[in-house]
Amino acid sequence: MKKILIISGSIIVGLLVIISICASFYLYSYALSRDNSSMNDTPTADQTTETAKLAKKNRQENTAWMEQQRLTKWTETSADGLKLVANYLEAPSPSKTTIILAHGYRGKSGKVEMAGLARMYNQKFGYNVLMPDARAHGESEGKNIGFGWPERKDYVQWTNQVIDKNGDDTEIVLHGVSMGSSTVLMTSAEKLPKQVKSIIADCGYTSMDAELSYQLKAMFHLPKFPIIPTASLINKVKEG
């Protein structure tokens, strides 16, 4: 009887380990893959409120405005060999200020998600605006989303390209929203050119652990342990 209990216990523990590893691989792929958009599609309780309706109307108006603008496509090759794409919107009148926008997690395109901010900076304040598609988003290459860590190096390259094209006397502002906010915060720790005058970080996440733990509980009703630590190990091995 004791042997049966030990064998049964070992089988259960083994199954739990296998299930945990499989769930961790799934979470890793689910969170980082560029093709999975469902983590942004969770319905919220206030989608029918007047505030939500107004926000939707504003997005539609800003997107329509963006479609009428004359954009110039810029490209950059990342340090790990990815072709990155950005759309540049020139100021209505010559300006030495350029805003570089950083969009959020699974943003369809920098120029779509950030249309409202681009319109404000360009139309109201008369600034140039650069709207990169982060790696694994939009027109930029990449299979996996970096949540801001590899992207920080990409944004240093974008700042240097702005200087190369607009001159040494240009002034640059980095403005990120959500994941883009964390991206520009990580970028701030890099050696940036003196032309970067300010950084605006709007509602970034505090840590990957907190972000994925919240999503795991909200979407799958699962605890963070042992899935998050195992997924973190998988990410370390596969992505460095």
Query: ω before 43 within 30° of 0 (cis)?
Result: no
106 and 69 share a domain?
yes
Confidence at residue 191, expressed as pLDDT on a 0 to 100 scale: 96
Q: Are 104 and 145 in contact (CB under 8 A)?
A: no
89 and 126 share a domain?
yes
Q: Which of 10-14, 56-60, 200-204, 218-222 has the highest mean pLDDT?
A: 200-204
What value does the mean pLDDT of the chain take? 89
Q: In CATH, what number is assigned to the domain containing residue 87?
A: 3.40.50.1820
Whether 107 shows a pLDDT value over 90: the answer reads no
In a domain, 168, yes or no: yes
In a domain, 117, yes or no: yes
Confidence at residue 91, expressed as pLDDT on a 0 to 100 scale: 98
102 and 199 share a domain?
yes
- How many Å apart are CA 92 and CA 86, to the nearest integer? 19
Q: In this predicted model, which residue has the larger pLDDT, 75 or 47?
A: 75
Whether 39 shows a pLDDT value over 60: the answer reads no
State the residue range of the domain holding 11.
1-32+207-240
In a domain, 106, yes or no: yes
108 and 71 share a domain?
yes
**Three-state secondary-structure class, residue 103:** coil
Structure tokens at 86: 């950005």
Whether 182 shows a pLDDT value over 50: the answer reads yes
Of 91-95, 101-105, 185-189, 224-228, which gets the smallest average pLDDT? Answer: 224-228
159 and 235 share a domain?
no
Residue 21, amino acid: I
φ, ψ for residue 175, nearest 5 deg: -130, 115
Band of pLDDT at residue 9, cut at 50, 70 and 90: low
Q: Are 135 and 154 in contact (CB under 8 A)?
A: yes
Of 76-80, 91-95, 153-157, 233-237, which gets the smallest average pLDDT? Answer: 233-237
Q: In this predicted model, which residue has the larger pLDDT, 102 or 224?
A: 102
Question: How much is the average pLDDT of 25-35?
Answer: 79
Structure tokens at 177: 């929203």
212 and 198 share a domain?
no
Confidence at residue 118, expressed as pLDDT on a 0 to 100 scale: 98
129 and 196 share a domain?
yes
Neighbours of 99 (CB within 10 A): 27
- Residue 239, Cα to own-chain centre: how many angstroms? 16
131 and 159 share a domain?
yes
Radius of gyration of the chain (CA): 21
Question: How much is the average pLDDT of 116-141?
Answer: 97
- Residue 68, Cα to own-chain centre: how many angstroms? 25
Q: In this predicted model, which residue has the larger pLDDT, 14 or 77?
A: 77
Number of domains in the chain: 2
199 and 117 share a domain?
yes
Residue 96, amino acid: K
In a domain, 159, yes or no: yes
Among candidate residues 216, 218, 240, 211, the one with its CA nearest the CA of residue 26: 216
Question: How much is the average pLDDT of 148-161?
Answer: 97
100 and 129 share a domain?
yes
15 and 131 share a domain?
no
Band of pLDDT at residue 42, cut at 50, 70 and 90: very low
Sheet holding 171-177, edge to edge: 71-77, 83-89, 128-132, 97-102, 171-177, 196-202
Strands (DSSP E) found in 64-142: 71-77, 83-89, 97-102, 128-132
Among candidate residues 91, 121, 86, the one with its CA nearest the CA of residue 102: 86
Whether 127 shows a pLDDT value over 80: the answer reads yes
